[in-house]
Amino acid sequence: MPVHNADIAAIFEEIADLLEIENENPFRIRAYRNAARNMLELGSEARDLVEQGEDLTQLPGIGKDLAAKIIEIVQTGRCQSLEKLRGKTPAGLPELLRIPGLGPKRVSALYHELDIRTVEQLMRAAEDHRLRQLAGFGAKTEAHILEALKAHVTEDHRLKLAVAAQYANALVEYLKQNQAIKDIVVAGSFRRCKETVGDLDILVTAGEPAAVMDHLVDYDEIADVVSKGTTRATVVLRNRLQVDVRVVKPQCFGAALHYFTGSRAHNIEIRRRAQKRGLKINEYGVFKNGKQIAGKDENEVFKSVGLPWIPPELRENRGEIEAAEKGTLPKLVELKDIRGDLHAHTKATDGHNTIEQMAEAAKQRGWEYMAITEHSKRLTVAHGLDKKRQLKQIEQISQINATLDGITVLKGIEVDILEDGSLDMPDDVLAQLDLVIGAVHSKFNLSRGKQTERILRAMDQPHFTMLAHPTGRLLEKREPYDVDMARVIHQAQQRGCFLELNCHPERLDLLDTYCQMAKEQGVLVSINSDAHTTADFDNLRYGIGQARRGWLEAKDVLNTRSLAQLRRLLKRTM
């Protein structure tokens, strides 16, 4: 069965988690975590590299031992090291790691000090107020864990968009091998670029529907065939992702695509408009007096209710229908509009490529510029720069720029915002940079008031340019910290600085609703990759999807500007 990079990453993450629960060597744990991240960010499938006999130790963060494990996983679908660790670890502990707010260190404390091994035991301990007795927990943490537990019991299994894309794209390519297929589109929340995806809806037109169904159920990655008919099948992949494949008639394809793309709230409003016109809209078409009058493509569906085509990312019933009616739909930003990336790391901290390599990769994408923004010293886990090393890098970038043609490297930093709102680098150094990106990397549990004031004070600093990943969330791992984003966005507008939309698949932060708020207040958003390797620039496509969900146009995005325009805007904040 094909092994995806996400499968390898999941194995390495689980190994790291189990090692951390057992308080193993932190350097070994970090190596597995870095390898997991690098697998997710790898531009090509590791299985293809193995089949081609490539030297995997040339990949970022992959030594001989990890390379051997990747080969083992690709060839067998298993990892003996993980199986040994599972054998030594109580079976319920890995599920505890899926509870937001419970990292391996806390799970280790729960296990070793309270002998908690299952979700049920944890729930009872939280309800009995036993968690607060542990060092580093307390009553507030206990309450947060109990709340997360209650949500966990009812939550659906969802995959991050970038992970779902690996499985969706592979399945689509497999289905295309059947020559009966004419059209194929992945609809649903995937097409709307939601941050996470619960299932996949795939629509197909084909001359021989039954042949498509037979071809589908032969797919190697299917764990269970829930149902199979002549025009529809439901299957579950090995990673628990449910997939519904429907073969529809060509004259119904647009209506089905609209219906299964959703959202439900959007579709309800479209049907209401249709009813007022004496029409009926469903997945089979647009009907008047029982006769189909439209539905071959989505344009026909929208036109039948007096509207232009609405991009899928906007279909959430958040004003898109009214805007379409008034002719004020935004011309949404596209990947081709981006002129450069303003957040990237190199080997100087926790990146895996040199400045020259990052610049060359940016140039190959046709960009005019990119910014090197290393971590500051407070982030010790990333080997952050102190004043001396930052000044040395400033000089290094000047020398590199003198040799580059067609690309400019901007001098920047991702500086930690300390608890009191000060920045983790002296002003005399920050003044020599092209941009200063402030980031919260600690004290996530401050009260709403304190967290907000902390960020507002940082934004008031004289050299502050941009707020990185503004809510601090990590999808499925860490909830956003409690901050008044309305005040933050207003502060950005008053101060003339910018907000980042961080494209890392685990972040996609700003949220789409905050993108809309920023747009309404005239605050420019920078769509940044937060690249740690040259391959990470590819993550911009997920940020673009998020920006489109937030109604952003090219004019609302900082890094759609030319280098000259960008420099003028950056100088205003310094």
* pLDDT tens, position by position, 378-423: 988 778 999 999 999 999 999 999 999 999 999 999 999 999 999 9
Reduced 3-state DSSP string for 189-234: HHHCCCCEECEEEEEEEECCHHHHHHHHHCCCCEEEEEEECCCEEE
Grade residue 262 by pLDDT with cuts at 50, 70 and 90. very high
CA–centroid distance for 309 within its chain: 27
Residues 6+ apart with CB under 8 A from 484: 448, 452
Distance of CA 281 to the CA centre of its chain: 34
* Residue 272 in this model has a pLDDT that exceeds 80: yes
Name beta bridge partners: 331: none
pTM score, whole prediction: 0.80
- Looking at residue 132, what is its pLDDT? 87
**What's the pLDDT at 229?**
92
Q: Which residue has the tokens 């207040």?
A: 521
Helix or strand run (H / E) with residue 413: strand 408-416
What is the pLDDT, as a whole number, of residue 470? 96
What's the pLDDT at 572?
80
Query: DSSP class of residue 531?
Result: B
Percent of the chain's residues with pLDDT above 70: 98
Within 8 A by CB and 6+ apart from 345, the residues are 351, 372, 373, 374, 375, 382, 414, 530, 531, 532
* Helices 138-154, 119-127: inter-axial angle, 10-degree rounding: 140
Whether 139 shows a pLDDT value over 70: the answer reads yes
Task: Please state the rounded mean pLDDT for residues 527-531.
Answer: 97
The pLDDT-based confidence of 520 (bands split at 50, 70, 90) is: very high
Q: How many Å apart are CA 209 and CA 321, to the nearest integer? A: 34
Tokens of 329: 């739909």
Q: In this predicted structure, what is the pLDDT of residue 156?
A: 61
Domains of the chain in sequence order:
5-154 (1.10.150.110), 159-247 (3.30.460.10), 268-326 (3.30.210.10), 335-573 (3.20.20.140)
Return phi, psi of residue 20, to 5°. Answer: -70, -35
**What whole-number distance in Å separates Cα of residue 318 and Cα of residue 331?**
16
User: Is the pLDDT assigned to residue 92 strictly greater than 80?
Assistant: no
> What backbone phi and psi angles, to 5 degrees, belong to 223?
-95, -30
**Confidence at residue 154, expressed as pLDDT on a 0 to 100 scale:** 54
Specify whether the CB–CB gap between 445 and 414 falls below 8 A: no
Find tokens 């707010």 and name the residue.
Answer: 101
Q: How far is residue 153's CA from residue 151's CA, in Å, rounded to a whole number?
A: 6
* 134 vs 426, more confident: 426
pLDDT band, very low/low/confident/very high, at 453 (cuts 50, 70, 90): very high
Q: Strand 408-416 to strand 435-439: parallel, antiparallel, or no bridges (unpaired)?
A: parallel
Confidence band for 152, pLDDT divided at 50, 70 and 90? low
β-sheet bridge partners, residue 552: none
3-state secondary structure of 367: coil
Distance CA 76, CA 229 (A): 32
Q: What was the pLDDT predicted at 574?
A: 65
Q: Give the least confident one: 291-295, 304-308, 441-445.
A: 441-445
Q: Give me the DSSP letters along 38-85.
A: HHHH-SS-HHHHHHTT--GGGSTT--HHHHHHHHHHHHHS--HHHHHH
**What percent of the chain clears pLDDT 90, i.e. is strictly above it?**
73
Window from 374-383, 424-433, 534-543 with minimum mean pLDDT? 374-383
pLDDT tier for residue 127 given thresholds of 50, 70 and 90 = confident
- What is the pLDDT, as a whole number, of residue 153? 57
- Max mean pLDDT among 40-49, 57-66, 296-305 falls in 296-305
Helix, strand, or coil (residue 237) = strand
Which bin fits 285, alpha (ψ -120 to 50), beta or left (φ > 0)?
Answer: left
Burial class (CB in 10 A: 0-12, 13-18, 19+), 52: exposed
Which positions ≥6 away from 294 have C-beta within 8 Å? 254, 255, 285, 286, 300, 301, 303, 304
For residues 106 and 108, what is the distance between their CA atoms, to the nearest angstrom? Answer: 5
For residue 294, what pLDDT is reported?
A: 96
| Structure tokens that stand for 563 in this block | 């280098």
The three state secondary structure string of 466-516 is EECCCCCCECCCECCCCCCHHHHHHHHHHHCCEEEEECCCCCCECCHHHHH
Once rounded to an integer, what is the mean pLDDT over residues 284-309? 96
Are 28 and 59 in contact, with CB atoms under 8 Å apart?
no
Question: How high does pLDDT run on average in the chain?
Answer: 92
For residue 38, the Cα-to-chain-centroid distance in whole angstroms is 15
Residues 460-487: tens digit of each pLDDT: 999 999 999 999 999 877 889 899 999 9
- 3-class SS string, 99-145: CCCCCHHHHHHHHHHHCCCCHHHHHHHHHCCCHHHCCCCHHHHHHHH
Is residue 53 within 8 A of residue 46, CB to CB? The reply is no
Which two tokens mark 233?
């099948």
pLDDT value of residue 88: 81
Least confident of 153-157, 419-423, 490-494, 559-563: 153-157
Q: Is the pLDDT of residue 205 over 90?
A: yes
Confidence class of residue 147 from pLDDT cuts 50, 70 and 90? confident
Length of the chain: 574
d(CA 159, CA 240): 10
State how far the Cα of 84 lies from the Cα of 487, in Å rounded to an integer: 50
What's the confidence (pLDDT) of residue 539? 94
Residue 391 to residue 556: CA distance in whole angstroms: 33
H-state helical runs in 387-463: 387-401, 427-430, 448-459
